Structure 1
Amino acid sequence: MAVFQSRTRRVALMTGAAVVVAVVVAVVLGRGSSPGSGGVRPSPHFTPPPAAAGFDYQIGGPYPPASGVRVVSRDRSAAPLAGRYTICYVNAFQAQPDELAWWRRAHPDLLLREPGGALVIDQDWNEALLDVSTPARRAALATVVGSWIDGCARRGFQAVEPDNLDSYERSGGRLTPEDNAAFAALLARRAHADGLAIGQKNTAELLPRHAGIGFDFAVTEECGRYDECDRYASAYPGRVFDIEYRRRDLPAACRDRAGRLSVVLRDRDVTPPGDPAHRFATC
């Protein structure tokens, strides 16, 4: 989910343990896998979202979009929308609150912890951060999150939006931008191998690295409010999909649009129609 300001390293020693890590990474990225092996099968093609297209952000619940909407983002638990370019939302760097018990049981070592063992929590959304601080943990997490990306592809989504790329900002210094960029690159390889485009979610600080990571477009939150739209539009001309949550910020984002951004106003809980909080508007 989005937060109010944006949601939305170490060199391995060449020991036997590092060799194991390299093998795990190879499996995660699909190298040497066969169609029946459960690995990722290389795809010769993926399609980025259409440029300057009408956009709706539906991660809080799916519904029929307005007639001018050509691109929709939905949670990975929802179905893609037939006839529209549909982006699959995946919380890739933090644990959804209702999934924390599963993480504790299945992968307790992949949750970021303080020195005393307490989980590092994003207080705005009550989400535990995932530990992408080492190559081994990134490889293991890429297996978990990669299976979700595979599922997005199987269900017919055209792209994936891995959220909380900026989790290092909430890690108390336990994660670095380099850690998150390295994990994002693993996810980009997985998405492309599945035939999916992949979007950068917020995190303007990583825009200089977007090509190296492998991002194809951007999903931004409140770039109008924080005067960041130009930066994203320069990196992804025509393929920036911005959500504003305050009506007074919509004009600023719309002024920057000029065929370079797709802008939508939504309520913070991105509720479907019928909910009293539901809000939807475009430029």
Structure 2
Amino acid sequence: MRRLLGTLLPTLLAALLLGPVAAHADPVPLPTGTDVDYQLGGPAYVPDNVGIVVRDRTATPAPGAYNVCYVNGFQTQPGARRFWRARGDLLLRDDSGRLVRDEAWGEWLLDLRTPAKRERLVRIVGRWTAGCARDGFDAVEYDNLDSFTRSRGLLRARHATAYARLLVAAAHDAGLAAGQKNRAGWDGTRVGFDFAVAEECGRYDECGDYTDVYGDQVLVVEYRARDFRRTCEGFGDRLALVLRDRDLTPDGVRRWC
């Protein structure tokens, strides 16, 4: 009974937080034997070889493809500062009260440290996730699962794991497959993730860490040509893999193995 409650609790909590939801079909796994395109910088033409497309939650899904919805679940989007300032107590602050941010992208980190804040955050991100499902996406990837590594020690891995469990439950309640974004070496299936999105796993020799857990249910994005070539040699026959420009512009670099 204790094990059963531990399995059901995240789903029940997500249902309570997000309100009544309609019945949904089980999440559909990633298709295999096709390529992926990573279009976070804006929608672009989808060539015939591409059967999986990742787009921002504000974009329209690509017709005829398996669509993955990008949701920044652990940090703030640069264009959403007004939204988050109105919910400032959900933003991570240091001992001096200054907001903690990801310096590379200028994004504020969300404060995951207490159950109450995690519950409030999943209300927000869960609504976005439900919106992805209504718009016709098949899956969702929650970005910045590893934000705790940029938190100056304020966040712990256990905070990210507890919050991820709630997000996965919200995705499954909406009928979407849920993708673990980065955090190589961690088994996200323990909280219910269905697949992984691995950025630059070839560059950092991490692709095997993902396939050990998810098999062929891994999407790979490389940003340097030499890493792309090496990753294609090692994993191109098993995984959906794309070379993109780092800004992910619609007319930027797009190559496949």
Scaled by the length of structure 1, the TM-score of the pair is 0.84
Residues 1-283 of structure 1 mapped to structure 2, 5 A cutoff: 28-31=13-16, 38-105=19-86, 107-207=87-187, 210-257=188-235, 259-273=237-251, 278-283=252-257
Percent identical pairs in the alignment equals 48
Deviation, 1:245, is 0.2
Which whole-Å CA distance do the structure 2 matches of 1:41 and 1:89 have between them? 22
Once the two structures are superposed, residues 143-193 of structure 1 have per-residue CA deviations (whole angstroms, 9 ceiling, x without a partner) of 000000000000000000100000000001111111101111101001001
1:42, 1:108 → 2: CA distance? 34
Q: Which amino acid aligns with 2:78?
A: P
Q: Indicate conservation of the 8 Å contact 1:89/1:160, yes or no.
A: yes
Contact 2:185 2:209 in 1 (8 A): no
Contact 1:27 1:39 in 2 (8 A): no
Give the aligned residue type for 2:174. Answer: D
User: Matches of 2:174 and 2:119 in 1, distance apart?
Assistant: 17
Q: Distance in 1 between matches of 2:93 and 2:248?
A: 30
**Contact 1:230 1:256 (C-alpha < 8 Å) held by counterparts:** no
Distance in 2 (CA, whole Å) between partners of 1:26 and 1:229 is 30
Distance 1:232 1:171 in 2: 24
Greater shift in the superposed pair: 78-87 or 258-267: 258-267
Distance in 1, matches of 2:247 and 2:123, equals: 29
Contact between 2:74 and 2:109, CA under 8 Å: does it hold in 1?
Answer: yes
- Give the TM-score of the pair, scaled to structure 2: 0.92
User: Measured at CA, do residues 175 and 111 of structure 1 come closer, stay the same or move farther in structure 2, by a change above 3 Å?
Assistant: same
Contact 2:185 2:210 in 1 (8 A): no
Provide the residue aligned with 1:14 in structure 2: none
The answer (yes or no) to whether the contact 1:28–1:190 under 8 Å persists in 2 is no
| Amino acid in structure 2 at the alignment position of 1:280 | R
Contact (CA 8 Å) 1:47, 1:197: kept in 2 or not? yes
Indicate if the aligned counterparts of 1:59 and 1:74 stay in contact, CA closer than 8 A. yes
